[in-house]
Amino acid sequence: MNKLKIAIGCDHGGFLLKQKIIEFLDKNGYEYKDFGSFDEEAVDYPVIAKQVSGAVSNKEFERGILVCGTGLGMSIVANKFKGIRAVCLENKFSAKATREHNDSNVLCLGGRILKDDLALELVDIWLTTEFQGGRHQKRIDMIE
Ligand code: RB5
């Protein structure tokens, strides 16, 4: 069992990709809670983003993953929460760099943009790359 506790959620635009990510989390032994939604019926992404980001902000979970059509709306909401450093990713370089430099704790992805294989690679890189600390910690303290 991997020790990271992950909160995951989506809207209708991210439902199918969220299901793929859950298969990946299961296969790799991650502990997670699925905050929904649970089908492709239209839901308001701020509701789900609030639940997942709130649960990371209050330290119930260490990381959050949010999937909507673009990842953008989810990231806008997530970054309103104290201690949340949410990023919307579309490439592998940034997936690694944002963990090493920004210690990002919520990953937002676009189900209507990303191919499944790339999305799962981004999740894998983002979950397994360590924060480098040092000079980057000082900058994170400045954000807070
Ligand atoms: C829903 O149609 C869409 O707006 C949502 O999934 C997301 O892309 C918002 O940023």
Closest residue by Cα to atom 9, ligand 1, is 73
Interval between CA 138 and ligand 1 midpoint (Å): 34
Work out the pLDDT band at 144, boundaries 50, 70, 90: confident
In what side-by-side order are the strands of the sheet with 63-68?
Answer: 30-34, 2-10, 63-68, 106-110, 86-88
List pLDDT tens digits, range 21-48.
999 999 999 999 999 999 999 999 999 9
Catalytic residue at 136? no
Calpha distance 51→71 (Å, rounded)? 16
Q: What are phi and psi of 89, to 5 degrees?
A: -115, 145
SS3 88: strand
Q: For residue 66, which of 29, 110, 33, 26 has the smallest C-alpha distance? A: 110
pLDDT of residue 2: 64
Q: What is the pLDDT of residue 23?
A: 98
Look at ligand 1, atom 5, and give the residue with the nearest C-alpha.
69
Looking at the predicted structure, is the pLDDT value of residue 1 above 60? no
Once rounded to an integer, what is the mean pLDDT over residues 121-131? 98
Asked whether residue 106 carries a pLDDT value surpassing 70, the answer given is yes
